Amino acid sequence: MNLGYQLDPAYVVRHLGELGDGLAWTLVLTTIGLCGGIIAGLALGAVRAYRLPVFSNLVAAFVELIRNTPLFVQIFFLYFGLPKIGMRASAFEVACASLIIWGAAYNAENYRAALLAVPYQYEEAGRALGLGEMRTFWSIRLPIAIRFAMPSVTNISVETLKNSALMLAISFPELTDTAINLVAVSFRVFELFIVIGITYLVLAASLTQLMRSVEHRLAWPA
């Protein structure tokens, strides 16, 4: 190393308060993006799986648009572009909206595939028992599809956590934005990045474990 760069681990300790606030915002954004993305994705996936006329095509176009453009640019579009047509939103609202939209587009594909993977005999059995079309969907097809989709939904949830770091683009004070601002005034690069790097790795591992335990809890005995 040059310039006599000296590690100062105490620096991070002195700024734990700010970093803790950033971590809290990261968790808030992840939770909102994860839940919103799953619920909206499920609805869009069902529209696709049942090929509802017109809506199905609109959803397909939406999914392609989101999946083929960078989330980073989507955030700029929402935050700086949309106010031009009178849709002004705070950084927090844009952060939540962009994570939910992104998660919905990716989960829509997961849930569409999962709904289509449910064997049609199950549906026939439900109808044969006298259940209506809606009841068959809610009580038979949907519960099975949700379980089929769990592994892919877990991956998307971890991506949502990592994507929350992009909100530094609109200066939303989540963990990465907080660390970058501290780097800008102190140049304590190593200390800060090692700490937030380990934090992200631990969060991602914990989230994966959490989703796996949900998956296990939901699993039916074979």
Is residue 27 at the binding interface for other proteins, with CB under 8 A as the rule?
Answer: no
Residues 153-172 that bind other proteins (CB under 8 A): 162-166, 168-169
Residues 98-157 that bind other proteins (CB under 8 A): none
Is residue 212 at the binding interface for other proteins, with CB under 8 A as the rule?
Answer: no
- Report yes or no: 113 and 90 within 8 Å, Cβ to Cβ: no
Q: Which of 72, 90, 119, 129 binds other proteins (CB under 8 A)?
A: 72
Site string for other proteins, 77-96 (x = CB under 8 A): x--xxxxxx-----------
- The radius of gyration of the chain from alpha carbons, rounded to an integer in Å, stands at 21
Q: Which residues of 80-107 are buried (b: 16+ CB within 10 A; e: fewer)?
A: eeeeeeeeeeebbebbbbbbbbbbbbbb
Site string for other proteins, 171-210 (x = CB under 8 A): -----x---x--x---x-xx--x--xx--xx--xx-----
The span from the CA of 214 to the CA of 128, in Å, is 31
Q: Taking the complex as a whole, how short is the minimal distance between the CB of residue 181 and other proteins, in angstroms? A: 12
Burial class (CB within 10 angstroms; exposed 0-12, middle 13-18, buried 19+) of 178: buried
Burial class (CB within 10 angstroms; exposed 0-12, middle 13-18, buried 19+) of 127: middle
Binding site for other proteins (CB under 8 A): 1-3, 5, 64-65, 67-74, 76-77, 80-85, 162-166, 168-169, 176, 180, 183, 187, 189-190, 193, 196-197, 200-201, 204-205
